[in-house]
């Protein structure tokens, strides 16, 4: 929302219409390459920030064709356009293809995709590097408030605890999540500073999903006894998951002087947004204006 005062913004959606004042939004199935290129030729963007993907890790196992189309073919088309037109291609990648234990993975760490979602996201990265030198590949894991009514991890934890219900919180999966609002302002800074290449945009220390739930619980002063430590294996998920996706943000801190991101601050901001009526503002400004 902050960007619309500074840039001409064009967005696309598929099933959830966005109508934000100061921006132009189109319904577009990104898999329709001709329609996509027709829009790109009309808009001629200097920067494309690509966030759409097939993100349900279990569904990616069963619907591989859709996963490939969205997670590989679409970024392939966009990097082709950006490569030919010298636009900057900013691509949201993932932490899901890392799995070495007890480390913070850096940009050079070995990748070991354990499921098809991770495989497709990795394939996209390789294509982007080949087709468009003017790129930013952002490996991340984020949480925050959605404009849609959705149960992303932090929201799911928040709503269950708020309603006095138990939360099965996984104690043997580790990650380095960042608040969505911090991620978007960081992307903006990275673009403004001319950073290019692959970066890990993450908070500064690894926490388990169990500790993440505990921190949300503490921030909102909910009842700790509702958080039930759970092993990931007991969830019987379809796709295999990594137990350690934690990312090192050292390269970003080196290249963006002064940038830092502490998980405690991120959770505090998550709470502040809720208290300050951000969810209502987000939902009304995206839907009504
Ligand atoms: N959530 C995380 O922590 C996390 C972690 C690592 C990486 N990522 C990456 O971050 C990005 C965003 O993830 P998210 O969790 O925010 O996912 P999300 O909320 O499900 O957003 C995915 C978007 O893709 C759009 N989309 C799906 N199929 C489309 C199509 N054929 N044409 C046009 N748009 C289409 C959907 O638009 P409609 O809603 O309009 O249908 C949806 O808004 C993804 O690239 C994901 O891999 C996320």
* pLDDT tens, position by position, 233-277: 999 999 999 999 999 999 999 999 999 999 999 999 999 999 999
Long-range contacts of 79-82 (CB under 8 A, 24+ apart): 79/127, 79/128, 79/131, 79/132, 79/135, 80/131, 80/132, 81/36, 81/37, 81/40, 81/48, 82/48, 82/131, 82/132, 82/134, 82/135
Q: Whose CA is nearest to atom 42 of ligand 1?
A: 52
Q: Is the pLDDT of residue 287 over 60?
A: no
Q: What percent of the chain has pLDDT over 90?
A: 88
Predicted local distance difference test score (pLDDT) of residue 248: 98
Predicted local distance difference test score (pLDDT) of residue 21: 77
β 88-92/47-50 pair status:
parallel
Q: Identify the band that residue 47 occupies on the pLDDT scale cut at 50, 70 and 90.
A: very high
Which is nearest to 255 in space by CA: 193, 204, 205? 193
Output 112 or 6, whichever has higher pLDDT. 112
Q: Identify the band that residue 2 occupies on the pLDDT scale cut at 50, 70 and 90.
A: low
* pLDDT tens, position by position, 176-230: 999 999 999 999 999 999 999 999 999 999 999 999 999 999 999 999 999 999 9
Give the residue extent of every domain in the chain. 2-145+177-207+246-268+278-288
249 lines ligand 1 (CB under 6 A): no
- Average pLDDT for the chain: 94
Output 91 or 150, whichever has higher pLDDT. 91
263 lines ligand 1 (CB under 6 A): no
141 lines ligand 1 (CB under 6 A): yes
Predicted local distance difference test score (pLDDT) of residue 1: 62
Q: Is the pLDDT of residue 288 over 50?
A: no
Q: Whose CA is nearest to atom 11 of ligand 1?
A: 51
Predicted local distance difference test score (pLDDT) of residue 285: 65
39 lines ligand 1 (CB under 6 A): no
Q: Whose CA is nearest to atom 39 of ligand 1?
A: 16
Q: Identify the band that residue 111 occupies on the pLDDT scale cut at 50, 70 and 90.
A: very high
Question: Which ligand 1 atom is the nearest neighbour of the CA of 14?
Answer: 40
User: Distance between alpha carbon 183 and the CA centroid of its chain, in Å?
Assistant: 8
18 lines ligand 1 (CB under 6 A): no
Predicted local distance difference test score (pLDDT) of residue 280: 86
Please state the rounded mean pLDDT for residues 4-30: 87
The pTM of the whole model exceeds 0.85: yes
251 Cβ contact list (under 8 Å, min separation 6): 106, 107, 199, 200
Q: Which CATH superfamily is domain 2-145+177-207+246-268+278-288 in?
A: NAD(P)-binding Rossmann-like Domain (3.40.50.720)
Question: Which ligand 1 atom is the nearest neighbour of the CA of 95?
Answer: 6
Q: Identify the band that residue 61 occupies on the pLDDT scale cut at 50, 70 and 90.
A: very high
* pLDDT tens, position by position, 21-31: 788 999 999 99
Q: Is the pLDDT of residue 11 over 70?
A: yes
242 lines ligand 1 (CB under 6 A): no
Distance CA 184, CA 189 (A): 9
């Amino acid at each position: 929302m902050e960007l619309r005062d500074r840039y001409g913004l064009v967005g696309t959606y598929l099933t959830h219409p966005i109508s934000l004042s100061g921006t132009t939004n189109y319904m577009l199935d990104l898999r329709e390459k001709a329609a996509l290129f027709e829009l790109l030729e009309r808009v001629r963007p200097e920067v494309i920030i690509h966030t759409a993907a097939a993100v349900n890790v279990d569904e990616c196992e069963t619907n591989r064709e859709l996963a490939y189309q969205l997670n590989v073919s679409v970024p392939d088309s966009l990097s082709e356009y950006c490569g030919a037109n010298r636009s900057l291609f900013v691509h949201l990648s993932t932490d899901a293809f890392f799995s070495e234990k007890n480390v913070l993975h850096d940009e050079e760490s070995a990748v070991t995709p354990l499921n098809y979602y991770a495989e497709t996201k990795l394939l996209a990265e390789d294509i982007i590097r080949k087709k468009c030198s003017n790129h930013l590949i952002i490996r991340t894991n984020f949480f925050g408030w959605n404009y849609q009514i959705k149960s992303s991890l932090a929201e799911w934890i928040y709503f269950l605890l708020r309603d006095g219900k138990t939360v099965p919180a996984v104690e043997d999966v580790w990650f380095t999540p960042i608040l969505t609002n911090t991620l978007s302002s960081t992307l903006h800074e990275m673009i403004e500073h001319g950073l290019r290449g692959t970066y890990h945009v993450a908070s500064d220390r690894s926490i388990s999903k169990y500790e993440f739930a505990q921190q949300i619980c503490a921030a909102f002063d909910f009842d700790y006894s509702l958080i039930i430590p759970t092993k990931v294996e007991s969830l019987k998920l379809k796709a295999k998951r990594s137990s350690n996706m934690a990312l090192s943000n050292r390269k970003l801190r080196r290249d963006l002087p002064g940038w830092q991101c502490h998980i405690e601050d991120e959770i505090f901001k998550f709470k502040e947004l809720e208290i300050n009526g951000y969810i209502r503002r987000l939902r009304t400004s995206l839907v009504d204006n």
